[in-house]
Amino acid sequence: MQIVELGPERIGDIRKLYEGLSRESIESRFMCPVKDIDSYVDRLLKRNPIMLGAVDGGELIGVTESYPLDDGETAEIAVTVRDDHQGRGIGSALLRHTLDYLARRGFRRAVAYTAVDNLRLIRMGRKFNGKFRYMGDMYEISFDLEKQQAITATA
């Protein structure tokens, strides 16, 4: 498996990944049911996210999306792994690479939002020293990218 930056030439693969997700994975990723995944993906991609992908045998099996926020120092991130590859450490590998990538590009902080029952993302947040803020039916997980780089450098 390789982690690569995804550009416009991979939009078809990105769309295929999202379209192939189960209802549960879609609700976990988007924190709500999505009836028209094509339109939703179009809206996401129009925001010009920074995207990294996990590629195995030429096939896209997971992605992270990162969206710079208005302060210029923070990026909102999301992790998605194809159903048949979940639970194998791919999401963790993607998150680690994404946090490092953002830090190298000058971001100081990354945040992810997740439902309180998304145990996989909660575990990843803990694994990468995220700080959790309870927000009713969801958590905001905040990552200090300067500290994250120091941890990665010593690992």
Q: Does pLDDT of 34 surpass 60?
A: yes
Q: Does pLDDT of 136 surpass 70?
A: yes
Which domains does the chain show, CATH number per domain? 2-110 (3.40.630.30)
Say what the pLDDT of residue 150 is.
56
Contacts of 5 (CB under 8 A, 6+ apart): 50, 51, 52, 53, 101
Place of tokens 């039916």: 137
User: What's this model's pTM, rounded to 2 decimal places?
Assistant: 0.86
How far out from the chain centre does Cα 102 lie?
12
Q: What's the whole-number mean pLDDT along residues 39-51?
A: 81
